[in-house]
Amino acid sequence: MALGKERVCVTGAGGFVGSWVVKLLLSKDYFVHGTVREPSYYLLYVLLSISEIAKIGLCSNSICAKIILFILTLGDEKNAHLYKLEKASENLKLFKADLLDYNSVYSAIVGCSGVFHVASPVPSTIVEVIEPAVKGTLNVLKASVEAKVKRVVFVSSGAAVAFNPSWPKDRVMDETCWSDKEYCRTTKNWYSFAKTEAESEALEYGKRPGLNVVSICPTFIFGPILQSTLNASSMILVKLLKEEGCESVDNRLRMIVDVRDVAEASVLLYEKPEVEGRYICTAYGCRGQELVDKLKSIYPNYIYPTNFTEGGEEIVLTSAKLQNLGWSYRPLEETLFDSIESYKKAGILD
């Protein structure tokens, strides 16, 4: 697969994971089409992207163009972090798209040779997550076929792996383990149900000639936020630093991975010709109490929870398949430190 200055689409570009995927792709010289749902000034942004400005002679140098873009982004706080990424002014184009609106999805994908399908609603308890996750994914795949995309990297989740009561208790979960949809349904775990259904549909779709689909299944993702609002997984960490939001903490083992390592893995899966199927992306197993102890050793002055609830199943997943491709991950302490520093910078811990 050709590298550099290739055009790729990232759905959910403004979210926690999407922003890091966009940032990494820009740093690798890709031209990125990012989908967002509410760009305030996206029309003007598109009209006045650097190349167009130069073409119609509104502005003759890039400093002037950057000033115009800066002014345009003032009203779009939700996506302001994207406009600020290095090379965004030259190589990032935002598209307004909702996963359930096929035409908007197609407009963002056409002209791209690859798609990173990151967008999906994340709350776990509401049944409404199913339609955008499943039908939205089918829209992305259909548009990818129509636009003659070569490869789609589908961001699934460890939630599509781990909820399987038939899996032997003493066996580490690998890519052959799928969450049991019926079990997810009866336990009303709609997020896991939706991700399992969407991922299996996506891999099935990828068996058609012409389109190649691979999936990545990250476990809990922590790490620095680029966006200004807090996503669901980062909220878990923030709650640990504010005891009032967290009376008692589940002490079960949580499998954790850094958002920057997820972005690296996603791009690796796009670039390596030989990849196929699904890839679990995880780094550390850590209990609630261990997590609190680690945070305490770096930041002793926050008010941490002191009650921990035991019980529940131990779920351990392995990333051996991904590591065999050359993927590696950073130390957990680095993830925690950079996460907290980013929350402080965003004023979330004030």
Ligand X SMILES: NC(=O)c1ccc[n+]([C@@H]2O[C@H](COP(=O)([O-])OP(=O)(O)OC[C@H]3O[C@@H](n4cnc5c(N)ncnc54)[C@H](OP(=O)(O)O)[C@@H]3O)[C@@H](O)[C@H]2O)c1
191 class by beta-carbon count within 10 Å (0-12 exposed, 13-18 middle, 19+ buried): buried
Q: 197-225 as b/e, with b when 16 or more CB fall inside 10 Å?
A: bbbbbbbebbeeeebbbbbbbbbbbbbbb
Q: Which is nearer to ligand X, 124 or 289 (CB)?
A: 124
Check if the beta carbon of residue 313 is closer than 8 Å to that of residue 271: no
Asked if 272 is an active-site residue, the reply is: no
| Residue, CB closest to ligand X | 15
Q: Strand 284-287 vs strand 253-258: parallel, antiparallel, or unpaired?
A: antiparallel
> What does DSSP assign to residue 75?
T
Q: Which is nearer to ligand X, 159 or 295 (CB)?
A: 159
Tokens at 138, concatenated: 């089918």
Rounded least distance, CB 220 to ligand X, Å: 5
Q: Which of 142, 195, 294, 344 is catalytic?
A: 195
Rounded least distance, CB 288 to ligand X, Å: 16
| Residues forming the site for ligand X (CB under 6 A) | 12, 14-18, 36-38, 98-100, 118-122, 132, 136, 155, 157-158, 195, 218, 220-221, 231, 233
Rounded least distance, CB 7 to ligand X, Å: 20
Q: Which is nearer to ligand X, 12 or 206 (CB)?
A: 12
Q: Which is nearer to ligand X, 53 or 317 (CB)?
A: 317
Q: Using CA atoms, how far apart are residues 349 and 342, in angstroms rounded to an integer?
A: 10
Rounded least distance, CB 300 to ligand X, Å: 26
Rounded least distance, CB 185 to ligand X, Å: 18
Q: Which is nearer to ligand X, 158 or 305 (CB)?
A: 158
Tokens at 306, concatenated: 């002191």
Residues 6+ apart with CB under 8 A from 12: 18, 35, 118, 119, 120
Cα Rg of the chain (Å, integer): 20
Q: Using CA atoms, how far apart are residues 162 and 175, in angstroms rounded to an integer?
A: 10
Instruction: Tell me the one-letter amino acid at 37.
Output: R
Active site residues: 195
